[in-house]
Chain A
Amino acid sequence: MSTIRTTDAIGEIRGRFGFWRRSYAMMAKEFIQLRRDRVSFAMIVAIPVMQLLLFGYAINTTPHHLPSAVLLQEDSDLARSVLKALENTAYFRFIYEVHDVDEFDNLLKSGKVLFGVEIPRGFERAVRRGDKPALLVAADATDPVAASSALGSLGMIVQTALAHDLYIGAPPAPPFEIRAHARYNPAAESRLNIVPGLVGTILTMTMLIFTALSVTREIERGTMESLLSMPIKPVEVMIGKIVPYILVGFIQAFLIVNIGVFLFGVPVLGNLFLLAALSTLFIAANLAIGYTFSTIAQNQLQAIQMSFMFFLPSILLSGFMFPFAGMPNWAQYVGECLPLTHYIRIVRAIMLKGASMPNLRFDALALAALMLVAMTIAVTRFRRTLD
C-alpha cells in the first residue's frame, strides 16, 4: 500500500510541476539555439550600443558650424567684421565665397550650404551715410530644425559686429539691418521636410527586404542547387532578381509622392521626370544593397537582421530625422555612405527647391557609385558552388 501511495505522490508532483518542466525544456532549447546563432548574438550587443552611440554622439538638434556661403559684392572692413561676428556665434561656418548671384543660389539649391549671406555693393558706404542698408541672410529652411537656432542668433549680430569696428559703445539705433529670409519653407512647416524624407525612408525599408531574402530563400528552399547546376551566371541571377522590384519600388514611390502632394500639400517645384529618374536610381541602389546582404547571409533571419542593421543608421544619420550638418564629421562620413542621405537631399531639393540636375550631380553620382559597389560585392560574393 505504502509503495503505491508513494508512486502516486510522485505522479502528482510530476503532474503539478509538469508545466514548469516543459517550459524549462523549451527555454533550455531556445538558449542553445540562440547561442549557436552568432548573428543574433551580435545583434543583442550591437543594436543597443549602436543606438546609444548614434543618439548620444551624432545627433544634435541645435547644430553648430553649419556650412554657409557668402556672396561678397564688396570687400570692406565692415563686411569682414559682419562675417566674423556671424562665425563667432558658432552657428555659421563659411566654406564658400562667391561673387555671382547664380552661383550663390545654386549652392543653396544643391544643399551644399544651409545659409547664404549677401553683402551688397556699397554696403560700408551706405552704413556710413546712415542709409540703414539691409544685409540678406538666406537660410535653407527645408529642415526647420537645422535653421531655426542659427536664425535666432542673428539679432545679436549687428551689435557685436559694430562693437569692434565702427563705433565704440552701443549706437542709439542700428546703422543697418539684417533681413533673414527662410527660403523654400518660409512657414517652417515640418511636414514639408518630413514628407519628402519619408519617400526615401519607406523605399529603403521595403526595397531592402525584398531582395535581402531573395538568395537566402533559394538556399533554404533547396532550389539553389538546381539553379547552380544550370548555365546561369551570377550577374544574370542578380539582374533577374533586382529588375522586377524596380517596378514595384517605382509604383511605391509614385504612391507616396502623390499622397504627399494631394494630402499633405507638399509642392513639387522641380522636374517630375528628374525626380522619377533619380528615384529609380535610388530604388536600384537599395535593391542592390539588399541583394548583397542576401549573398552574405546564411539564412533568411540573418538577411533580415542585416537589413535592420543598415536601416537603423539610415534613419538616424541620413538627415531624415536630425539635421545632417549638425552631426560630427565621422557621422557625416558614415552618412555619405548611405543611399538615403543622398536621396533625401535629392528629393527635398527637387520637391521644395525646384533643383535641377546640375545642382544634384554629386548626389546622383554618389547613388550610382553606391549601387555599383554593392553590385560588385554581390557578384563576387555569390557562391557559384555549394562548397
Chain B
Amino acid sequence: MSAGNDIAIDVKGLTKSFGGREVVHDLSMQVKRGSIYGFLGPNGSGKTTTIRILCGLLTPDSGEGTCLGYDILRDAEKIKRQVGYMTQRFSLYQDLSVRENLEFVARLYGLTDARGAARDMIKRLGLSGREDQLAGELSGGWKQRLALGACTLPNPKLLLLDEPTAGVDPKARRDFWNEIHALAAEGLTVLVSTHYMDEAERCHEIAYIAYGHLLTHGTVDEVIAKSALATYTVTGELNGLAAELAGRPGIDMVAPFGTSLHVSGRDLAALEASIAPWREKSGLHWQKSHPSLEDVFIELMGRSKDNFQ
C-alpha cells in the first residue's frame, strides 16, 4: 500500500495477448480515489481488455498491480465485491423485469434487504412505473440507466464503465454524466471508456490508448499541452483549401470544424512556412489557436498507426 489510500487503481506493465496478438502492451496507470478517469482510444485499442483485467475477468500475461488496495492477480474475489462493472453490451437478463434484475444483483452481493434496495434504486433511476417491464423491452437509454443502477446497487467503491453511452441520445447522455459526477462527489472512483470528446472533457483525468499502448495521460489541459501541437484556425472562403493544404511539409493534420478549418502540425516553424502563401490571401482569416482534444487524439492516432502497425 505504498501508493497510499488515495489511489484506487495502481497497475504496472500489464500485458495481454490473444492468439499471439498483443492487445495490451506494458500498460501502467494510476487512478486517484474519487476521480473520474476517462479511457480513450480507437476501436480495438485494448480499452475493454484493460477494464476486464482490472475487475478480474481476464488474467494478464504479465504485469502486476492493485485495485482498491487488493492485488489484481490474487484477490479477484475481493475486488469483485467492491467493483461495479458495466459491460459494453447490455448484459443483464433480457427476460427478467427491471425489478427482478435489480433484486438478483442485490442478492448476489448479499444485501440484507434486496427488495428494499431494488425499490430504492428504481426510484433513483426514475424507472418507477416501469419496474415490471422486461429489461429486453426497454429502449437503449433506459437499458443503460438500468445497467448503471445494477452496478451501483451494491455500493461499490469503484465503477468500471465500458463505453456506457454508446448509442444513447444526447439528453440521456447528459443525464448519465450528471449521475456519474454525483456518484464521484460521494467518493466513488469511476473509470469510463468512451469515444466521445465532449465526454472526455467531463473527466478529471484522461488516458489515451491505441494499439495496446498507453500514449498519454493527465488532465485535458495537460494532455493538450503535452502534445506540442500547433494549430491555426482558418475561416472564410474555404473552398478546396483543405485539399490544397493536406500533405504539405509541416502540416500533419487538416480538419474541418463547421465553418472553420483546423490546420495543425508538430513543428510550428515548418507549419508557418507552409501556410505562408495562403495567409496573405484575401477572404481567409487565419488565427493561431489551441488544438482541441480531438485534434490531439486524431494526431496521436495517426502517429501510433505509423509506429505500431
Contacts and interface: CB of A to CB of B under 8 A. Distances in A.
B161 to A, nearest CB: 12
B92 A223 contact: yes
A221 interface: yes
B108 to A, nearest CB: 5
B57 A386 contact: yes
Nearest to A229: B85
A222 B108 contact: no
A100 interface: no
Contacts, number: 47
A385 B56 CA distance: 7
Of A222, A223, A230, A386, most B-chain CB atoms within 10 Å: A230
Contacts of B91: 222-226
Given A222-B87, A386-B52, A230 B57 contact: no
A223 B58 CA distance: 16
Contacts of A224: 91
Nearest to B94: A221
Interface string A225-248: 110111110000000000000000
Given A222-B90, A226-B87, A386-B58, A232 B52 contact: no
A102 interface: no
A232 B85 contact: no
Of B52, B55, B80, B91, most A-chain CB atoms within 10 Å: B91
B105 interface: yes
B45 interface: no
A385 B58 CA distance: 5
Interface string B65-85: 000000000001100110101
Interface string A262-280: 0000000000000000000
A387 B83 CA distance: 19
B89 interface: yes
A228 B92 contact: no
Contacts of B89: 222, 225
B110 to A, nearest CB: 8
Contacts of B76: 384
Contacts of A229: 55-57, 80, 83, 85, 87
A221 to B, nearest CB: 7
A231 B57 contact: no
Interface string B81-112: 10101010111111000000000010011100
Contact of A231 (B58, B81, B93, B94): B81
Interface residues of A, number: 15
Interface string B12-54: 0000000000000000000000000000000000000000100
A384 B87 CA distance: 16
B59 interface: yes
Interface size for chain B: under 10, 10 to 19, 20 to 34, or 35 or more residues?
20 to 34
Contacts of B109: 230-231
Interface string A203-230: 0000000000000000001111110111
Nearest to B91: A226
A326 to B, nearest CB: 48
Contacts of A230: 80, 105, 108-109
A265 to B, nearest CB: 42
Interface string A362-387: 00000000000000000000001111
Contacts of B87: 222, 225-226, 229
A226 B58 contact: no
Of A224, A228, A229, most B-chain CB atoms within 10 Å: A229
Contacts of A225: 57, 87, 89, 91
A232 B108 contact: yes
A226 B85 contact: yes
Contacts of B81: 231
A367 B217 CA distance: 60
B92 A231 contact: no
A387 B55 contact: no
B157 to A, nearest CB: 14
Contacts of A385: 56-59
Contacts of A232: 108
Contacts of A223: 91-93
A224 B150 CA distance: 15
Interface in A335-387: 384-387
A17 to B, nearest CB: 40
A223 B80 CA distance: 16
Nearest to B162: A225
A223 B83 CA distance: 17
B58 A387 contact: yes
A228 B56 CA distance: 9
A229 to B, nearest CB: 4
Contacts of B90: 222
Given A225-B89, A225-B91, A385-B57, 12 more contacts: A221-B94, A222-B87, A223-B92, A223-B93, A224-B91, A226-B85, A229-B55, A229-B57, A231-B108, A385-B59, A386-B52, A387-B58
19 contacts: A222-B89, A223-B91, A223-B92, A225-B87, A225-B89, A225-B91, A226-B85, A226-B91, A229-B83, A229-B87, A230-B80, A230-B108, A231-B108, A385-B56, A385-B57, A386-B52, A386-B58, A387-B58, A387-B59
Of all A-B residue pairs in the complex, the 10 with the closest CB atoms, nearest first, are A226-B91, A229-B85, A231-B80, A222-B91, A231-B81, A230-B108, A225-B87, A222-B89, A225-B91, A386-B57
